[in-house]
A and B are shown apart, each in its own frame.
Chain A
Amino acid sequence: MASKPRTLYEKIWDAHVVERRGDGTSLVYIDRHLVHEVTSPQAFEALRVSGRKVRRPDLTLAVPDHNLPTTPRLDAQGNRIPIADVQSAAQLEALEANAPAFGIRYIDASAAEQGIVHVIGPEQGFSLPGSTIVCGDSHTASHGGLGALAFGIGTSEVEHVLATQTLLLTQSKSMEVRVTGELSPGVTPKDLVMHIIGVVGTAGGTGHVIEYRGDAFEQMSIEGRLTVCNMSIEAGARAGLIAPDDSVFSYLKGRPMAPKGADWDKALAWWKTLHTDEGASFDKSVEVDASSIEPTVTWGTSPEDVAPIGGKVPAPEDFTDPSKQDAVRASLEYMGLTPGQLLAEVRVENIFIGSCTNSRIEDLRAAAAVLKGRRKASNVKWAIVVPGSGLVKRQAEEEGLDKIFVDAGLEWREPGCSACLGMNPDKVPAGERCASTSNRNFVGRQGPGSRTHLVSPAMAAAAAVTGHLTDVRKLPATE
Chain B
Amino acid sequence: MDKLVEAHGRAIPLGRKNVDTDLIIPARWLKTITREGLGQGAFETLRTEPENIFDREEFTAAPILIAGDNFGCGSSREHAAWALLDMGIRAVIAPSFSDIFSGNAFKNGILTVVLPQDQVDRLLEVAATDPISIDLEHQTVTTPFQDRFTFEIDPFRKNCLMQGLDEVGLTLAREESITEHETRRAAQMPWLAKGNTNRHGETA
Q: Decide: B199 and A257 in contact? CB cutoff 8 A.
A: yes
Q: Decide: A444 and B201 in contact? CB cutoff 8 A.
A: no
Counting chain B residues whose Cβ lies within 8 A of the other chain, the interface size class is 35 or more
State whether A39 and B22 are in contact (beta carbons under 8 Å apart), knowing that A128-B191, A259-B194 are contacts in the complex.
Answer: no
Q: Is B96 an interface residue (CB 8 A)?
A: yes
Q: Decide: B194 and A41 in contact? CB cutoff 8 A.
A: no
State whether A91 and B31 are in contact (beta carbons under 8 Å apart), knowing that A138-B75, A157-B103, A159-B168 are contacts in the complex.
Answer: yes
- Docked Cα-Cα span, A32 to B195, in Å, equals 7
Residue from A32, A46, A58, A163 whose CB has the most chain B CB atoms within 10 Å: A58
Q: Decide: B99 and A207 in contact? CB cutoff 8 A.
A: yes
Q: Decide: B76 and A39 in contact? CB cutoff 8 A.
A: yes
Chain B, residue nearest A169 (CB): B103
Q: Decide: A444 and B155 in contact? CB cutoff 8 A.
A: no
Nearest CB of chain A from residue B113's CB, rounded to whole Å: 16
- Docked Cα-Cα span, A343 to B93, in Å, equals 37
Tell me the dominant secondary structure on chain B's binding face: helix
Nearest CB of chain A from residue B14's CB, rounded to whole Å: 12
A residues near B103, Cβ cutoff 8 Å: 153-154, 157
Q: Decide: B31 and A448 in contact? CB cutoff 8 A.
A: no
- Docked Cα-Cα span, A323 to B20, in Å, equals 16
Q: Decide: A327 and B31 in contact? CB cutoff 8 A.
A: no
Nearest CB of chain A from residue B76's CB, rounded to whole Å: 4
Nearest CB of chain B from residue A186's CB, rounded to whole Å: 29
A residues near B22, Cβ cutoff 8 Å: 421, 440, 442-445
- Docked Cα-Cα span, A88 to B31, in Å, equals 6
Q: Decide: B28 and A238 in contact? CB cutoff 8 A.
A: no
Q: Say which one of B52-60, B130-138, B142-150, B174-182 lies at the interface with A.
A: B174-182
Q: Decide: A23 and B45 in contact? CB cutoff 8 A.
A: no
Q: Is B77 an interface residue (CB 8 A)?
A: yes
Q: Is A21 an interface residue (CB 8 A)?
A: yes
State whether A153 and B76 are in contact (beta carbons under 8 Å apart), knowing that A29-B185, A238-B99 are contacts in the complex.
Answer: yes
Q: Is A206 an interface residue (CB 8 A)?
A: yes
Contact flags A308-340 to B (C-beta < 8 A → 1, else 0): 000000000000000110010000000000000
- Within 25-60 of A, Cβ neighbours of B (below 8 Å) are at 25, 27, 29, 31-32, 38-39, 41-42, 45-46, 50, 52, 55-56, 58-60
Nearest CB of chain A from residue B59's CB, rounded to whole Å: 21
8 Å CB contact of B198 from A85, A125, A131: A125
- Docked Cα-Cα span, A48 to B189, in Å, equals 32
Q: Is B90 an interface residue (CB 8 A)?
A: no
Q: Decide: A168 and B17 in contact? CB cutoff 8 A.
A: no
Contact flags A424-454 to B (C-beta < 8 A → 1, else 0): 0000000000000000101111001000000
8 Å CB contact of A257 from B18, B81, B167, B195: B195
- Within 256-287 of A, Cβ neighbours of B (below 8 Å) are at 256-260, 263-264, 266-267, 270
Q: Decide: B191 and A60 in contact? CB cutoff 8 A.
A: no
- A residues near B (Cβ < 8 Å) are 18-19, 21, 23-25, 27, 29, 31-32, 38-39, 41-42, 45-46, 50, 52, 55-56, 58-61, 66-67, 85, 87-88, 90-91, 94, 105, 124-126, 128, 131, 136-138, 140, 152-157, 159-160, 163-166, 168, 170, 172, 202-203, 206-207, 233, 236, 238, 256-260, 263-264, 266-267, 270, 302, 323-324, 327, 421-423, 440, 442-445, 448
A-B contact pairs, 25 of them (CB 8 A): A23-B156, A27-B177, A39-B76, A41-B32, A42-B34, A58-B196, A60-B195, A60-B196, A124-B196, A153-B103, A154-B77, A154-B107, A166-B171, A166-B178, A203-B70, A203-B73, A206-B96, A257-B195, A258-B198, A266-B190, A324-B17, A421-B75, A423-B28, A423-B31, A445-B27
